[in-house]
Amino acid sequence: MDEQIKIKKKAMTNAEKQKKYRERQKERGKQEMRGYLSPEAKVCYQLISEQTNWSDSVILSNAVRLTYAAYKNGQIGLLSSWLKNKEL
């Protein structure tokens, strides 16, 4: 009778899992962005999150796209001054 040898897979560390996840995201054409929210932005984030149930990624992606739209339409100054006036 032939013996079957079972090969155990080595368990991946958390760092290895995170690296693999980041690599899959890059393969999908996604880019990681990091930063810290100001207290004003954090309040806005919480309101958007509660009202839309969007993930962090969707909120960030939409924020970048909306900022770009304001820029392309010559409204970036208006957007910036509105945020400043509203203390957001």
Which pLDDT score, from 0 to 100, does residue 6 have?
63
> What's the rounded Cα separation, in Å, for the pair 23 and 11?
18
22 contact partners, CB below 8 Å, separation of at least 6: 32
- Contacts of residue 70, defined as CB under 8 A and 6 or more positions apart, other chains included, come to 76, 78, 79
Per-residue pLDDT tens over the stretch 24-76: 999 999 998 889 999 999 999 999 999 999 999 999 999 999 999 999 999 99
Q: Answer yes or no: pTM beyond 0.95.
A: no
Residue 3 has pLDDT above 70, yes or no: no
**Cβ neighbour number for residue 45 with a 10 Å cutoff:** 16
